[in-house]
Chain A
Amino acid sequence: MPDVNLIIDGQAVSVPAGTNLVDAARTVEVAIPVFCYHPKLKPVGMCRMCLVEVYTARIDPATRQVVMGPDGLPQLALMMNKLQPACVTPVSEGMVVKTTTEKVKFAQRGVLEFLLTSHPLDCPVCDKGGECPLQNLTMQWGPEVSRFDYSDKVHFEKPIKLSDVIYLDRERCILCSRCVRFQDDIAGDEVLGFDNRGRSWEIISKSEPGFDSKFSGNTTDICPVGALTNADFRFRSRVWEVRSTPSICTHCSVGCNLSLDARHNSLMRVMPRENDDVNEIWLCDKGRMGMRFVESATRVTTPLVRQHGKLVAASWDEALTRIASNLSQIAAKGNGQVAGMMSDSASNEDLYAFRKLITDTFQSTSLDHRPGAVTDVAIDEAIITAGVGMGTSLLSLGKGTAVVVLAADVEEEAPLYVLRLRGIKNRGGVVHVVNSFATKLGTSASSDTRIKAGSEAAYANAFLKLVLEAQVASGFDRRVRNLDDVRNQLSKLLLDTLLEHAGVSRAQLQKVVDAYMAASNAIIVYGRTALQIGASVTQTMANAAMATGKCGKANNGLIALTTGANTFGAVSLGVRPGKDGAAANEFWARAEAGTLRGLLVVGLNPAANNPAAVEGLQTIAKHGFLAVQTMFMNETAELADVVLPQMAIAETDGTITNAERRVQRFRIAMAAPAAMHPTWQVCAQIAERATVATPASKNATAVLSNWNYAVTSDVTDEVAQNNPRYAGVTYTSLDLSINSWGRQANESVYYDGTSYTNTEGNGVQLKTVADDAGAALTVVYSPPVEFEPKGEFGLLMQTPVRAYNGGTWSIDSKLGSRQVAAHVLISSADASRWNISAGDAITVASPIGSSTLPAQIDKNIAAGHVLMPDVAGAPVHLALGAYTRVAIRRAE
């Protein structure tokens, strides 16, 4: 569509049709003041701050023709003979806009004065003071004095709690409704509303508990005054006193950009940082209010070594030497008796150094990023092959885009994806959700298919079958290998059988397949359940993407919602079992068998809720050596021979790779509470000491020189050098910034108190295999797995993710009351069958044990389906995979 030409304050402007006048003016650095308008929200034109003079061609009412002036040009007339709100007035050809005339100034001064006369002007005690659009606009557009009495202020009880974390000061509220509209349009949690009218009009929470949304903190950002404040930051600091450090959230796989605001080495608040390719300008509440653990008094601050059966404080040198010498001795016996496990939320640098320590120094391939539970998830090779293509930007997607979300609870697993996927739908794309239980995203999706518990693989294969059939006409991607085998195998599966197994009609499936096939951009998202089931879902869906060429290019492919913030980093940098090496959930058996004697654990707590792991760890500690690096004492650390303090993300620097394989950099925001070293340094220190002590090490000098790192970026550079996938990823390339939100005129309104602008880098997205034109894409047939309840264990139990799971992040968090307590969700049918009421204690038995916990009844769950959310204290060790056969009964 050709651009529209108009004149704003004497400057020629050319913008796409449909652009509103506020945005059009910004392109030529003309600032039109706004309160209710926000570039991320639909304009509503209610604050009336943006009134301007708009002139359009004069139309003769009789002839309906443009009246021409003596100069041969159309005569202009003031539109509707009054001022127009710029935010809801779209540009039109030949329009002339004046934003600084006396008439405009008079109106704008009036609106500002009206707002200020009911506003309490308590800036000195307001959290927003210093980054407040109302303050800023008053300075530029407001009257110097007020004509009205101070006694005319509106008075309300201040503040009131909308929820445990969000406070509302109704006196400060200027009723712009940005918060309500954010919740309705962007978050999809329609929990805010209005009450009363006129000057008594007020924002209220309609939900129970109050303001029940995982995105509530964003409303405090976009609030143009200090009406909404959050409990995490209230009265902690003046905003100009904080020093902001760019960082990345590590609570899930989204990798939201954020800013850590500290004062005197103390964390004041967490704010979102703009990155259109990741979190736009938003942050979920867990990311915003889940950082207080950093300053917890219960942190492990000094190395501990076991003496006479007790852990006592020791020097770093002593602790590191112990680890090095003990593990060296064990390693010297050969056969990979040392093993390592490290959290997949750690940085690429730490993971790389850890891998190097275990494989090079201690000569073992028993390495894992998972905690060693039976339910450990395999990250399929398929996601590395066909993950989402280079240059993908969900924000650019709308019409013509199809997203299929299979076996994922997006809001719980990676909350911010809800906003991003809803955005695609709001912009005209389709989002189809397919899951075995109801999810929040499903309620606002284009379709929400409920499949039978355990039928994900059947659904995936049925999906692939129809996709391949549909693709025949237009031909398959030439790079695809092994297609005939897959088609041949699939032809043996009867569609009707698969559909019946999944409990889905042909039409329901066809709708999703048609949308997928018709889309010019198609993305498949899968989550924990898919990953737990494994290849029969993940590879099968990847097959569909590969065969149709819907991968290996921007805005197409697959996104896996992994558990860790850096699962891709861990997997691609080798923190996973190598040849002959054991996976974490095999460590315990190896320990019992005596073939694993030394274990280094970083940032994981395998002993939590896993009796097998506890036994294994005890055996290792007893007959060998167990070293743990951790931020907090936990069940695993209690068993260790040496415990090392671990740094929090706020205290160190490095890079992490998100679910879309975007590598992003985080920096040091504050000093650690005591002398600590980042894990990569700890690994280097151990390696240095180990080479001296281990005669078995074949190439001692070479290994030593390899650990010559001065700063974190030395490790980053080595990662880039040694891993083709990371080629070119350096601090310099990560630091390139593109400010897609625009920073022209009026930034004091759009940015102040909102998201931090990104001047510190948007990160670098890694290529998938499919991004290479010459790559071979091998499709692999993965038959559907069956989860059939049978015998005494007649129900199928799933352990879904809960964002508020009571993990480390929740320590000292204001979100305490939102933590999900351990419970089991059962269907109404099963509840009446076993005579169970909500709140009753029930015993859940699986083939490997049983446990008792409270039941809740969910009428949306199908009979025979049991959900045990994976939260702190839940006996998830009863699970044997994605689905576990269980029996339930009322506890005696």
Chain B
Amino acid sequence: MPPITEHVVLRDLDVPNIADLDVYIQHEGYEALRNAVKEKSPQDIINVVKDAGLRGRGGAGFPAGVKWGFLPKDVYPRYLCCNADESEPGTFNNHQIIDRNPHQLIEGVALAAYAIECQKAFIYIRGEFAAGALRLEKAIADATARGFLGKNVFGTNTSIEIIVHRGAGAYICGEETALLESLEGKVGHPRLKPPFPAVAGLYGKPTIVNNVETLTNVPRIVLKGVEWYRKNGTEKSPGTKVFSLSGHVNKPGNYEVPFGVTMRELIYDYAGGMRDDKKVKIIVPGGASSAWLTEANLDVAMDYESLAAAGTMLGSGGIIILDETVSAVELAYKMDEFFKHESCGKCTPCREGTHYLVKTLHKFTHGGAVKNDINKLHDVYNQMAGNCFCLLGESAVVPIRTALRLFPEEFEAALAKSPARHAIPLTLAH
């Protein structure tokens, strides 16, 4: 697939210093918003985004325009939350957008807010992105000073206030209901669904939660139109996607490509191929929560449908590519250790299950595993799968399940290397 001629999201690559408000304005900045609030109805914006087929980049891939249409009629105030809690391992495109193209994100937030008739929008930003938060705040202040935000946007009756709220460092707050809890000042625990946020979200009011990349697409779609946007990508996954490539590739980084490029193209054409020309062993295609692929899947097209057909998902677009030097057991251990660390503790299978997955995997990586431990791993993840309160626990199942499915021999081999069980000192406490 030919590369894109013009960036939709990572426009900082086309326009140096686009983070600067004046530069942004010189390059069509805030024109979409101006046209919208002056000449278009909120429904017009929803329609164009719906027709463009913009899908949520946070992981689920749900069409953004359709989501906006779910809000119950005549219930106000409504809230918009931009999910900038980018914490999925291997994912770093939001970071680049916030740092280098903040105004396009802010304009996207404002457009979405206008579309759903919300006067107060929040950007919930990952706590560690301190510089990004400051940058956003400054950008918002700059835009407000010009009358692009705040009261009477562009002299109209529309008011859009954007508040930047920093998280406190919990992965679970990227889950939309936990994000809302955290935004309300509570412990970031996921909420029971239904009701979904669109019906009862922030402070019990109708709320839309959208990802940074999703919203950053919006100004370009509104300004340039459906046809322009659909130039790239596939019928069901239109547009471009920023993939974050990391791992054993020669040129890790963010690459904005049309949906539908193959994994092989991404690795070899964009990311400069594999380090030391080693073979691809494991591909984690969409963040730690996605099922792994192998070399056999290199020709999979990078769009929502093709990846689903391959038994995994596009997820956050954070692709981790690992070569044959990596042990599948080690990788499963590391990933589940992450989930264990981030488990909020609300539901039993996740809180205790992640602990026992890690505990058992530790025996495979550090010695002490016995044959029955493989069955134990199968049992534990099966007792978690489908049984957890939110997707965090479900995600923790994925690495160990795919590792055991794709590389069973490595677990068997770890058994052989394990010292006999009696050699492990029994402790009652530690």
Q: Which residues of A contact B (CB under 8 A)?
A: 44-49, 51, 81-83, 88, 106-107, 109-111, 114-115, 117-118, 147-153, 155, 174-175, 193-194, 196-201
Contacts and interface: CB of A to CB of B under 8 A. Distances in A.
A199 to B, nearest CB: 6
B347 A118 contact: no
B187 interface: yes
Given A44-B192, A106-B382, A147-B379, A51 B387 contact: yes
A147 B345 contact: no
B340 A114 contact: no
Contact of A175 (B351, B353, B382, B427): B351
A183 to B, nearest CB: 15
Interface string B342-369: 1111111101111110010000000000
Contact of A107 (B170, B354, B383, B430): B383
B71 interface: no
A194 B178 CA distance: 14
B208 to A, nearest CB: 23
A111 B383 contact: yes
Given A151-B429, A151-B430, A199-B352, 5 more contacts: A45-B192, A111-B383, A115-B348, A197-B343, A198-B351
The 8 closest A-B pairs by CB, nearest first: A110-B383, A201-B345, A82-B386, A114-B352, A198-B343, A198-B345, A197-B344, A151-B427
Contact of B359 (A88, A115, A152, A194): A152
A114 B343 contact: no
18 contacts: A44-B192, A46-B347, A46-B389, A48-B348, A48-B349, A49-B348, A81-B386, A82-B386, A110-B349, A110-B384, A110-B387, A114-B356, A118-B352, A147-B379, A151-B428, A175-B348, A197-B172, A201-B351
B164 interface: no
Contact of A48 (B345, B376, B388, B429): B388
Contacts of B348: 46-49, 111, 114-115, 174-175
A155 B430 CA distance: 9
Contacts of A196: 345
B383 A199 contact: no
B60 to A, nearest CB: 15
A201 to B, nearest CB: 3
A198 B340 contact: yes
Interface centre among A45, A46, A82, A194 (most CB of B within 10 A): A46
A46 B347 CA distance: 5
A31 B164 CA distance: 48
Interface residues of B, number: 38
Contacts of A114: 348-349, 351-353, 356, 383
Nearest to A112: B348
Given A114-B356, A148-B359, A198 B344 contact: yes
B189 to A, nearest CB: 8
B351 A199 contact: yes
A115 B349 CA distance: 9
Nearest to A194: B187
B413 interface: no
B347 A47 contact: yes
Interface centre among A109, A149, A174, A200 (most CB of B within 10 A): A149
B181 to A, nearest CB: 11
Interface centre among B172, B340, B343, B355 (most CB of A within 10 A): B355
Contacts of B359: 148-149, 152
A881 to B, nearest CB: 46
Contacts of A147: 376, 379
A155 B187 contact: no
Nearest to B363: A149
Contacts of B353: 110, 114
B426 interface: yes
B40 interface: no
Contact of B387 (A83, A118, A201): A83
B343 A151 contact: no
Contacts of B343: 197-199
B371 interface: no
Contacts of B376: 147
B275 interface: no
A117 B356 contact: yes
Interface string B418-430: 0000000011111
Interface in B176-234: 187, 189, 192
B410 to A, nearest CB: 22
Contacts of A150: 428
Given A147-B379, A155-B429, A199 B386 contact: no
B351 A83 contact: no
B192 A88 contact: yes
Contacts of B383: 106-107, 109-111, 114
Nearest to A175: B345
B19 to A, nearest CB: 35
Contacts of B138: none
Contacts of B428: 150-151
Nearest to A106: B383
Contacts of A198: 340-345, 351, 354-355
Given A44-B192, A201-B351, A111 B389 contact: no
Contacts of B340: 198
A83 B382 CA distance: 12
A300 to B, nearest CB: 53
A48 B192 contact: no
Contacts of A197: 170, 172, 342-345
Contacts of A174: 348
Contacts of B385: 82
A130 to B, nearest CB: 24
